[in-house]
């Protein structure tokens, strides 16, 4: 799904302590249609938390960055605050703030300025040329 500004909007859902990509979301009922490991077809599951895609990507692997992802000094995703609390409690360079919070823009600007992440998908063709 895309916003009016052209930004891709997608979510992961935390269900039973694990994050899954969502296909359909019911925010009111806090449920989502997700691909659960080992199940042949997507299932409706109760969701503890939804985390939103930030529009940022890891510069090395072009992996999507979501709220709560833990980024190390090299710009690599080390885990997230939901599935990897031991990484979060150990040495953490940066936890990507939630998009609705004041810290979000500061987090984004700092990581992009350090050259660790690429902002927005409009930069993607240039990054792919540089990597290729």
* CB-based contacts of 97-103 (< 8 A; 24+ apart in sequence): 97/67, 98/52, 98/67, 98/68, 99/52, 99/54, 99/67
Q: What is the DSSP letter of 100?
A: T
Q: How far, in Å, CA of 70 to CA of 93, rounded?
A: 8
> Dihedral through CA 83, CA 75, CA 56, CA 24, nearest 10?
-20
Would the pTM count as exceeding 0.75? no
Residue 1 lies in a domain: no
Which pLDDT belongs to residue 31?
A: 92
In a domain, 2, yes or no: no
Number of domains in the chain: 1
Q: What is the pLDDT of residue 125?
A: 46
Residue 16, in any domain of the structure: yes
Q: Is residue 98 part of a domain?
A: yes
54, part of any domain: yes
Find out whether 89 and 81 touch, Cβ atoms under 8 Å.
no
Domain that residue 61 falls in: 11-131
* pLDDT at residue 85 in the model: 74
For the chain, the average pLDDT equals 77
pLDDT at 12 over 90: yes
User: How confident is the model at residue 93, as a pLDDT?
Assistant: 63
Does a structural domain hold residue 118?
Answer: yes
Q: Is residue 59 part of a domain?
A: yes
Whole-angstrom distance, CA of residue 39 vs CA of residue 34 = 10
Task: Write out pLDDT tens, residues 31-87.
Answer: 999 988 777 788 899 999 999 998 888 877 888 999 988 887 777 788 888 888 777
**Does residue 3 fall inside a structural domain?**
no
Q: Tell me what percent of the residues of the chain surpass a pLDDT of 70.
A: 69
């Amino acid at each position: 799904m895309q916003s009016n500004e052209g930004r891709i909007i997608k979510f992961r859902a935390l269900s039973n302590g694990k994050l899954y990509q969502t296909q359909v979301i019911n925010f009111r009922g806090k449920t989502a249609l997700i691909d659960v490991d080992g199940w042949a077809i997507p299932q409706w599951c109760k969701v503890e938390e939804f985390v939103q895609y930030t529009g940022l990507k890891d510069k090395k692997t072009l992996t999507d960055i979501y709220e709560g992802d833990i980024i190390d000094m090299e710009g690599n995703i080390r885990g997230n605050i939901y599935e990897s609390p031991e990484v979060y409690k150990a040495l953490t360079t940066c936890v990507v703030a939630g998009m609705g919070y004041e810290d979000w823009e500061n987090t984004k600007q700092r990581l992009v300025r350090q050259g660790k992440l690429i902002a927005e998908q409009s930069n993607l063709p240039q990054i792919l040329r540089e990597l290729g």
